[in-house]
């Protein structure tokens, strides 16, 4: 069960950062000004039962990524309460944890262990990770030589091989080509069929319709709809008109 109770996340924007001590203690205009408070997520409440695939829709800047960062505890709420019952793996900025100088092979072990897999578990899944990512010929090359597609394929492959109960995917499929996207959608549907909970952010409504039973629609930080996917897509389409 995942529950958000009146969750708000504020950011301070536009505050002038002082560069010297003199500026800090002076009364000039250069003195650090208190920033404007911006609510990226504004009083959001919802609950999700295990095994649901939930899409998160909304225009640019609506607060979708912030919502997922709160869910995965990358950032903390300014107020409100978040309850997450179960382990989470996230594909937020895919490949963000990769070390450029290391090979694909080494990054599987590095990234896998950061994401909570034991060495033994990674060894067991190694073949399947490489196979799914379609990077076998380049697996001992440093990932800095990988194309963006190869990079994202490997990162996605590691993510979907995790045994966590909740999988969070933010725009991860945007980089791969059509073939790989289709393969990922199939894989995500397999993960869903195995009873895991999925959070899926995408601007591609076809992908959301393909995967999600329910959706959250965000607008200016607020949750304006929670419910069935077809209705959510209609609301989203009205918003982007």
Ligand X SMILES: Nc1ncnc2c1ncn2[C@@H]1O[C@H](COP(=O)(O)OP(=O)(O)OP(=O)(O)O)[C@@H](O)[C@H]1O
- Tell me how far the alpha carbon of residue 216 is from its chain's centroid: 15
Binding ligand X (rule: CB under 6 A), the pick from 8, 11, 51, 78 is 11
Tell whether residue 94 is a contact of ligand X (CB under 6 A): no
Least Å distance, CB 63 to ligand X, is 4
Tell whether residue 58 is a contact of ligand X (CB under 6 A): yes
Residues between 139 and 198 with contacts to ligand X, criterion CB under 6 A: none
Tell whether residue 65 is a contact of ligand X (CB under 6 A): yes
Tell whether residue 61 is a contact of ligand X (CB under 6 A): yes
- Alpha carbons 197 and 168: distance in angstroms, whole number: 8
Least Å distance, CB 118 to ligand X, is 32
CB nearer ligand X, residue 28 or residue 60: 60
- The stretch among 19-27, 63-71, 107-115, 191-199 that binds ligand X (CB under 6 A) is 63-71
Q: Which long-range contacts (CB under 8 A, 24 or more apart) does 152-157 make?
A: 152/94, 152/95, 152/176, 153/180, 154/95, 154/98, 154/104, 154/107, 154/108, 154/129, 155/91, 155/94, 155/95, 155/98, 155/111, 156/91, 156/94, 156/184, 157/129, 157/130, 157/132, 157/133
Using the structure block, give the residue that is written with the tokens 């996230």.
90
Phi-psi map region of 163: left, alpha, beta (phi>0 left; psi -120 to 50 alpha) = alpha
Binding ligand X (rule: CB under 6 A), the pick from 2, 62, 139, 191 is 62
Binding ligand X (rule: CB under 6 A), the pick from 63, 95, 104, 112 is 63
- Alpha carbons 240 and 143: distance in angstroms, whole number: 37
Binding ligand X (rule: CB under 6 A), the pick from 4, 48, 64, 176 is 64
CB nearer ligand X, residue 9 or residue 183: 9
Using the structure block, give the residue that is written with the tokens 């999700």.
48
CB nearer ligand X, residue 10 or residue 121: 10
CB nearer ligand X, residue 40 or residue 90: 40
Tell me the two tokens of residue 33: 């000004």
- The stretch among 60-68, 106-114, 116-124, 178-186 that binds ligand X (CB under 6 A) is 60-68
Burial status of residue 199 (CB atoms within 10 A of its CB: 0-12, 13-18, 19 or more): buried
Interaction site with ligand X (CB under 6 A) = 11, 13, 38, 40, 58, 60-66
């Amino acid at each position: 069960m995942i529950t958000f109770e009146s969750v708000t996340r504020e950011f301070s924007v536009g505050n002038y950062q002082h560069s010297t001590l003199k500026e800090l203690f002076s009364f000039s205009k250069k003195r650090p000004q208190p920033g404007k408070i911006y609510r990226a997520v504004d009083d959001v409440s919802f609950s999700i039962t295990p095994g649901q695939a939930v899409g998160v829709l909304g225009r640019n800047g609506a607060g979708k990524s912030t919502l997922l960062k709160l869910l995965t505890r990358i950032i903390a709420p300014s107020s409100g309460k978040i309850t997450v019952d179960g382990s989470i793996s996230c594909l937020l900025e895919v490949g963000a944890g990769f070390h450029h100088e290391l090979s694909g092979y080494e990054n599987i072990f590095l990234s896998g262990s950061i994401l909570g897999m034991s060495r033994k578990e990674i060894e067991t899944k190694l073949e399947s990770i490489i196979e799914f990512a379609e990077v076998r010929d380049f697996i001992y090359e440093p990932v800095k030589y990988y194309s963006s597609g190869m990079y994202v394929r490997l990162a996605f492959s590691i993510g979907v091989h995790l045994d966590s109960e909740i999988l969070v995917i933010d725009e991860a499929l945007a980089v791969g080509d059509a073939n790989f996207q289709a393969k990922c959608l199939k894989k995500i549907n397999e993960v869903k069929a195995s009873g895991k909970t999925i959070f899926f952010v995408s601007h591609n409504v076809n992908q959301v319709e393909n995967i999600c039973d329910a959706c959250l629609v965000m607008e200016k930080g607020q949750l304006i709809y929670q419910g069935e996917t077809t209705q959510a897509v209609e609301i989203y389409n009205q918003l982007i008109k």
